[in-house]
Chains A and B, each alone.
Chain A
């Protein structure tokens, strides 16, 4: 069964802390994604990666960085957490194809920055 796991379901951090969100997929997918989800705004893409050590900015990369050292793992880093980064963070993976393809999502990490 397809699986994307995220390191924490709930996380509380203080302003200014460095925060690491981890995502692991077991499907040997090349593509991995980080989104954030906020009420009324839907899901917004932060970063994605189409290969190990490769990354591309999404729609809202400011304040975030990512790391992909291994194919199965994609980390989202908040260098200095701020209260406006309180959100639900969702990781997804997919396999590139010649046509349409679906993204598989993890359960999400609800991050609160105080």
Chain B
């Protein structure tokens, strides 16, 4: 599975959009990009995934570059409850092992 690179930490003002970047330059054609987050003292929570096209759901939007070497998770209006560690994961179709790195610690500031 391709490795990912994320910033260690980021801050975002409450009510603003939080844009979390992820580099995955070695991604292969059949690998998906997944995003999870982990709020303190809880298990990770699935957010969104994509293959080639941009995706949006009730939690977030995922923008994948045309060459698929990087992506951005967008939380459109960050709240204090969005403070968490966000993991970007690249994994093949049907793969059982999702490799969680150390993620980006997002702090939403009042």
Contact surface of A with B, Cβ cutoff 8 Å: 4, 31, 33, 35, 40-43, 45, 48, 50, 56, 58-59, 90-92, 96-108
Contacts and interface: CB of A to CB of B under 8 A. Distances in A.
Contacts, number: 58
B44 interface: yes
Interface of B: 32, 34, 41-46, 49, 51, 87, 93-94, 96-103
A90 B44 contact: yes
Majority secondary structure, B binding face: loop
B96 A102 contact: no
Contact of B100 (A31, A43, A97, A98): A43
Nearest to B44: A105
Given A45-B97, A100-B93, 7 more contacts: A33-B96, A42-B100, A48-B96, A98-B93, A103-B46, A107-B43, A108-B41
Contact of A100 (B34, B41, B44, B97): B34
B96 A107 contact: no
A92 B43 contact: yes
Nearest to A59: B97
Contacts of A58: 97
Contacts of A99: 32, 51, 93-94
